[in-house]
Structure 1
């Protein structure tokens, strides 16, 4: 483990102090959080909630090798995790893509750090920036109340701060581990520490957490694009083989070095039993260095001269070979600070208030991309039918593709970028007791959220070094993907990064400067009538936004000018909500509710800004005419609690949407921009549109139970699992000639998802094996049903074990991704048409946990 982490943990272990327990923070759902350190406390949070929610404790998060918040969230009913570069990053709630859900920390809305969200909205929070060691717990709130922001069509993920355990005066937890990643034989390191205490006769409490994770992940990947034109094959070609004619093939080998940090802390001042003031904050994110070696074969459909219908071999006489070397540095940060308080006066009147500032950033200080191309076309044979997941190729004209000296044509650029998304917010609430119902109160309040989004992209062309790829590669060939591919010598990334470049200039077509202000007010009733409690009311939100982007105009001399063009949007929405909770006894809870919500168009969806991927001939642009998506949600659940953290639950939901937003893809023969590698070729234009109405419905079932009724050592066994079924429907395509609509499940709606774990916890020994499954779903909408992109089913198995060495120290081992789960995308739902297939192999970690405090 790095020296700085060991020093940090050693210092933490020397800390001691004593006082009274800290006053807890508050859940997004409006419930006081005692602490969600154990499974029992997480179950109690769900049981006592006024709305439908699920929670996972910090103890449960630590019980599996979930390195970040996204991977911890995947264990919760209704959650489907989307991974990238071998780690969980975004999550979908009840079949809705990440851009339509909300994320908060301690109830304060988080803004996006990574603008590259799966559906392109740029609003989703990337949870891989939050190391699991800094989490006090997580909850997913699935029905909204009027005192909550109305954003969150699928639900709200709320990250809970670490807190001093109930009954303790201090807390001091520490963990350190070292791991192994076998794909490239690299090491990983992990450590975290939480320390807290109260002082000043119980008036002050202070707690802080630090988490560290460093890895050297690697990826074996192969990607491809289809020409989607069977006529590119000679007459008489088998229909299946003709449908699989490639446009290009790209074996890729990636190496990442990620250093992730997370800090969180809070100071509370409680001068009396009825008054409290607090300050809390977080700083979380990572720095990642990526080295990518891609071998690109273009022109595979331009001159197909022969096809063997029996073997599937396709012969091409004018393919182009390219060695592509990419080196990037990315800095992702999430910062939040909040200050507020609460007090009670008069006859039970309660006032609470909060001001907060949060900011997400994604910065690429550099993004070097170089292409070394063989100027001579080659004749080769490829086959993607014998084994579609591992296509093969070889030259037939004597060309040695691993000879670096043949790649003499050079083109390269450096593309730094800066994206930020920040928000200033203020909230004030006043609750006044009323006589209608037990513990009844009318709550009124208001909030202001002022959000600002900035996006800058820059570019500088590399000077042609006048040398072939041989001058920028090392010794030995990169043979990988279980030996399937040899893509030539290893790049010497330091030499590539040292190629002189021209002046850096801003890409004005990608510039964004957006302001989005949301003003809200609400009135809410909460009260009880015997076993029934009610929360209901109405919220009004006014949106005042200005989205600024540059409009490009072509001049007579062939140059372009850019004019900053603002697009203003103002609208007001009314959101009624009501939730019923029925609990006839201590074991049974029934929820029923109706709530409304909004999904504002993503900044990248509504902007007029345009970005161009020069290497792949892709133009991405927003649609300033988009309307926000609104939704009506109907929820019901039955929960039975068996004690000691045990629970069985069943929930159903239905969501109806207006103005649902989907991504669109068009292909055009030409595009008037000289930056494209082939302006007269096939250009892809990615954008967005409203499709009118859509809906999603489904059910969730969950069980968690330790078998305490069994005799002796058998009582340590238990199960924890859940199943989610989701159906959805929307018009994803329109026939350009007839206008006919084609309906399908909504993007990223997996019809079936499940989690199941078997655990053992007794006599100082804990062990767990957990599997997670997500079914096939449509991931990206193409320009037709034939070009829609699907994410194929995936199943992952993880395991962990820990044994107490002393009452305050334990040794643990973890194994992640024992199944070597692949991330696989296909064109159409047919698994025989893969366009991306990558894998990572398992990784392992072992270490020590220390628990002090009293």
Structure 2
């Protein structure tokens, strides 16, 4: 039995790391079974329904990879509604939000497209193509409701048995499952509350049921989670002209730099239903053979209503600037309303079948899987109603958070009868990304060096198909009064600072006659990307030292298809880019138990980030409405980014169940990819030497990211009386990164925040648990501009959340949650200065109550 446990433990890296977290068994009992868990066993019973932090700590200690874990107990302790929001609590992880919810995560400062996402070791496909840096490889984690999964891992060092994708790390989502040795389980919750900004309701719940049959030979688990809300967003966005020659002589340089090209007042209301349902079954054919089947669907359906009031062409004719007050007077301004209604259906799907058996001295496990990510808009109506005459306006953005405006001549800009020129139309789209994969692994006790040596080897095939297509339909009329499409009181928003006119009748917008839908040739993408891999690794122990090392080889064969179009969007012809290359990835992991309480780790790992589909495509979009044409296109000549990573980690067990750890890492990259902007490019095909503002992507050579991570948790049980319930959880990550963002100009890498931290005070005593959690993400470069004056930055974010539970009985628990107590804004600026905001939106707080039952 001891040899069996050592064998399984040394196979820890064969399929990634997984959590063993148990409600019933105590932590030390769960630890005895961690061997199978961290081996990434194909048994759906690997992960149990509820997990505790002490059990998660124990799994981390036994794993051969460097990793962090968010067990279900920890996820439920704060109002995190999806996988992204739960992951932000872990060391080195920062969250990017959209539509008021967490969506993507960065690991150690790496853009989300550069990290991997798996579901119990099976690689997930991208769902939302609008990833922050345009790679369309990241999985949008808001598709996964918090009650649907059993735990989360962030794996920061990889081994030869794992896919080599993951420059920053790999997010592994674990399913809900039966605890080992438990006949059945039932775990459910229901709750609701209010989102304060619009006083709208939010409802959520989940249920998991598992049962063993036929003398425990068959285990079945089913789970379902949902969240339904109607989130409101108040937003102001702006574009600057960045041309000091357009302002009158004598204008101060500071005010000249603040001249708007346009300013946009945006009121949003989203109606989203997020659901996840799945399950699995394991059947033990014999003591040595096991088969399993699992699958899931997770995603959301969302309708969005957007009222946007825009002052456009503010810089075309600036007639006066008041240096004392900061007021601009502009003539010939074109105001318009964009009343928008959309429907989006986004999801991830998985079907997996596999098993394991013993053949002689070899343990063989194999699986086949199909996974899919999809995102489609059945309709996306944008009805733009403009004032065709133009007006004269005075605006002032001296207060960057509250830009004011007024029309001259007594014009009421909220009067819908002014807006009679109709444009835009309908732009539905479809995106899908799916993969068929097969994996087979072999392992056997082979004693070459050290004790308990295990040789493991295997192979995998991944065949991926990605498709994208958008469509367009115009309106059959170009003159129509906005007055016929409003149906409510004036919209007062941004804490009452603005009145942007009568609320639109969104249902009526759908009745505007449209021209037939036509495929937009510039948006067509049809890509195949196949990856063939093999690996060999050897594991052994040398006293207190465990060693895992080996090499992985991956061959990539990709074909990326798009269309060439002319300046008018007409199809010229297909463009096909083919790329085939092979890479070798050596990896070495060391774990040393320096004493009863001190553990030391070191690893060297290598990884790859293939160019993003939107980055390598030959597709391009052209906008010729401005004086200088704007062209956005991919770069079919991009090479993959190769990363090498050194990790050092030390953890120490404190008295009374506390843990403190400190780590350092350094990553260096070749052929790093970043977005590029070229102002006045003269070599763009189709423009014959004409100056063009070109947005694309480039390999910028070498880059690096290094830093330190600190993690500490402790309940202060040594304090007297009721104070013994007080505890603290916290982590801090500092990252220093650099690379060439423009020729000859080095800077921190896009989306790399130098400082992130989490801190939480909690109180646990008897039936009461209280927790106040804080997260912080520092400023980072969000988008690279043509020069430093047009770079966009994400401003620092600090947020407080609160969670409380009360155990009514051993089976019934009541909870209270408050999300975003601080009404934290999402704020982007041009340059690092807050004097130049380009987006400033907020959502206010959420308040929720509910019940949980488990037995």
Q: TM-score range by the shorter chain?
A: over 0.9
Matches within 5 A, 1:12-411: 30=40, 33=46, 35=48, 37-347=51-361, 349-385=362-398, 387-411=399-423
Asked if 2 retains the 8 angstrom alpha-carbon contact of 1:29 and 1:51, the reply is no
Distance 1:362 1:26 in 2: 35
Distance 1:671 1:532 in 2: 58
- Tell me which of 786, 790, 796 is aligned to 2:789: 786
- Tell me which of 813, 818, 835 is aligned to 1:810: 813
- Tell me which of 599, 605, 612 is aligned to 1:595: 605
Partner residue in 2 for 1:512 = 525
Structure 1 residues 618 and 162, CA gap change in structure 2 (3 angstroms): farther
Distance 1:607 1:292 in 2: 31
Following superposition, the deviation at residue 485 of structure 1 comes to 1.4
Following superposition, the deviation at residue 733 of structure 1 comes to 1.1
User: Is 1:415 the counterpart of 2:427 in the alignment?
Assistant: yes
User: Is 1:470 the counterpart of 2:479 in the alignment?
Assistant: no
The SS at the match of 2:56 is helix
Q: Unpaired segments of 5 or more residues in structure 1? A: 1-20, 675-680, 735-740
Deviations 1:331-358 (A, max 9, x none): 00100111111223434x2111111110
User: Is 1:631 the counterpart of 2:643 in the alignment?
Assistant: yes
Number of aligned residues: 816
Distance 1:164 1:138 in 2: 17
User: Is 1:577 the counterpart of 2:580 in the alignment?
Assistant: no
Q: TM-score, normalised by structure 1?
A: 0.93
Asked if 2 retains the 8 angstrom alpha-carbon contact of 1:104 and 1:156, the reply is yes
Partner residue in 2 for 1:541 = 554
Distance 1:62 1:793 in 2: 26
Following superposition, the deviation at residue 24 of structure 1 comes to 9.2
Asked if 1 retains the 8 angstrom alpha-carbon contact of 2:728 and 2:759, the reply is yes
User: Is 1:521 the counterpart of 2:534 in the alignment?
Assistant: yes
Following superposition, the deviation at residue 619 of structure 1 comes to 4.2
Deviations 1:806-849 (A, max 9, x none): 11001111000000000000001111110000000001110100
Structure 1 residues 25 and 361, CA gap change in structure 2 (3 angstroms): farther
Deviations 1:460-509 (A, max 9, x none): 11121643111111232111101121111111111111101011110111
- Tell me which of 835, 838, 841 is aligned to 2:838: 835
Partner residue in 2 for 1:764 = 767
Following superposition, the deviation at residue 102 of structure 1 comes to 0.2
Asked if 1 retains the 8 angstrom alpha-carbon contact of 2:47 and 2:150, the reply is no
The more displaced of 285-294 and 710-719 is 710-719
Distance 1:92 1:166 in 2: 33
Following superposition, the deviation at residue 451 of structure 1 comes to 0.7
Distance 1:317 1:472 in 2: 28
After superposing on structure 2, the runs of 4+ consecutive aligned residues of structure 1 that deviate more than 6 Å are: 23-26, 613-617, 669-674
Matches within 5 A, 1:426-445: 426-435=438-447, 436-445=449-458
User: Is 1:646 the counterpart of 2:655 in the alignment?
Assistant: no
Partner residue in 1 for 2:718 = 709
Structure 1 residues 731 and 175, CA gap change in structure 2 (3 angstroms): same
Distance 1:287 1:702 in 2: 37
Asked if 2 retains the 8 angstrom alpha-carbon contact of 1:27 and 1:106, the reply is no
Structure 1 residues 651 and 302, CA gap change in structure 2 (3 angstroms): same
- Tell me which of 571, 576, 580 is aligned to 1:566: 576
Deviations 1:733-780 (A, max 9, x none): 12xxxxxx1110000000000000011222111111000000000011
Distance 1:465 1:473 in 2: 18
Q: TM-score, normalised by structure 2?
A: 0.92
Following superposition, the deviation at residue 147 of structure 1 comes to 0.3
The more displaced of 800-809 and 98-107 is 800-809
Asked if 2 retains the 8 angstrom alpha-carbon contact of 1:478 and 1:487, the reply is yes
Distance 1:45 1:685 in 2: 49
Distance 1:719 1:550 in 2: 56
Asked if 1 retains the 8 angstrom alpha-carbon contact of 2:37 and 2:47, the reply is no
Following superposition, the deviation at residue 553 of structure 1 comes to 5.4
Following superposition, the deviation at residue 718 of structure 1 comes to 1.2
Distance 2:702 2:681 in 1: 32
Distance 1:189 1:615 in 2: 45
Asked if 1 retains the 8 angstrom alpha-carbon contact of 2:397 and 2:403, the reply is yes
The SS at the match of 1:112 is coil
Partner residue in 2 for 1:447 = 460
The SS at the match of 1:397 is helix
Distance 2:572 2:299 in 1: 34
Asked if 2 retains the 8 angstrom alpha-carbon contact of 1:788 and 1:828, the reply is yes
Structure 1 residues 34 and 223, CA gap change in structure 2 (3 angstroms): closer
Partner residue in 2 for 1:620 = 632
Following superposition, the deviation at residue 633 of structure 1 comes to 0.4
Q: Unpaired segments of 5 or more residues in structure 2? A: 1-29
Asked if 1 retains the 8 angstrom alpha-carbon contact of 2:157 and 2:169, the reply is yes
Distance 1:605 1:187 in 2: 39
Partner residue in 1 for 2:507 = 494
Following superposition, the deviation at residue 47 of structure 1 comes to 1.1
Following superposition, the deviation at residue 25 of structure 1 comes to 11
Asked if 2 retains the 8 angstrom alpha-carbon contact of 1:372 and 1:469, the reply is yes
Asked if 1 retains the 8 angstrom alpha-carbon contact of 2:547 and 2:589, the reply is yes
Asked if 2 retains the 8 angstrom alpha-carbon contact of 1:380 and 1:397, the reply is no
The SS at the match of 2:483 is helix
- Tell me which of 759, 774, 777 is aligned to 1:774: 777
Structure 1 residues 571 and 682, CA gap change in structure 2 (3 angstroms): closer
Structure 1 residues 428 and 777, CA gap change in structure 2 (3 angstroms): same
Distance 1:614 1:709 in 2: 70
Following superposition, the deviation at residue 390 of structure 1 comes to 1.3
Following superposition, the deviation at residue 59 of structure 1 comes to 1.0
Following superposition, the deviation at residue 181 of structure 1 comes to 0.8
Distance 2:68 2:343 in 1: 37
Distance 2:653 2:750 in 1: 35
Distance 2:126 2:241 in 1: 35
Structure 1 residues 427 and 31, CA gap change in structure 2 (3 angstroms): closer
User: Is 1:425 the counterpart of 2:437 in the alignment?
Assistant: yes
